[in-house]
Amino acid sequence: MRAVPLIAFALPFLTPTNPPTPAKTTAVLAGGCFWGVEAVYEHVRGVKSVTSGYAVPLPAEPAMKPAAGDYVEAVRIEYDPELIGYARLLEIFFTVAHDPTQGNRQGPDVGPEYRSVILTSNEAEQALAAAFIDSLTSAGVFSRPITTQVSGLKSFKVAEAVHQDYVARNPRAPYVVVNDAPKLDHLRRVFPDLFRDR
């Protein structure tokens, strides 16, 4: 993963007349096991709450139904658009929260439920997410192809209580120490202006 913010590479098209923040203040992102992604955004200034859950993307063809088990582990992020915009949330997603070049996996977790997906709820989010990925690809920010999908959100089901705030409640768990604690360190280093204690 990159050690520098991506905004300079990814968003040259954003201008004061093209604001990056949609009116909606909820973002849904899937980047592997929801424990670590949730923990990252819980430490971001401007984020009000983060909920782990199971998201079902809209199928590519409107007439099709999602396949059985076509969910991804995801987080629902409630944020204050006056303090942080959707574009910054995406920048953190690609820089810190996960590795967007892994396919149906993330680190030790393997399977389609761990794939990278930006789940959008309106056309503004869809356009911004697609443009962000295109810009990263054009700039050659990553040495491998980005596998992140952009899809509309069909549904989001809140995960069981044991999964909520897992990293905060289990900081010494081996999985957390190896896979999730480094993300928080990375967030603190790369985005010191956005990092906050929980």
Q: Provide the annotated active-site residues.
A: 33
Q: Which of 121, 116, 113 is CA-nearest to residue 86?
A: 121
Cα distance between residue 187 and residue 96, in whole Å: 6
The strand pair at 149-158 and 116-120 is best described as parallel
Q: How would you label 56-69 residue by residue, b for 16+ Cβ within 10 Å and e otherwise?
A: bbeeeeeeeeeeee
Residue written as tokens 């995406």? 90
Residue 39: partners with Cβ closer than 8 Å, 6 or more residues away:
166, 167, 168, 180, 183, 184
The answer to whether the beta carbons of residues 180 and 39 sit under 8 Å apart is: yes
How far are the Cα atoms of 33, 75, 180 from residue 174, in angstroms, in the given order? 14, 22, 10
Classified as helix, coil or strand, 43 is coil
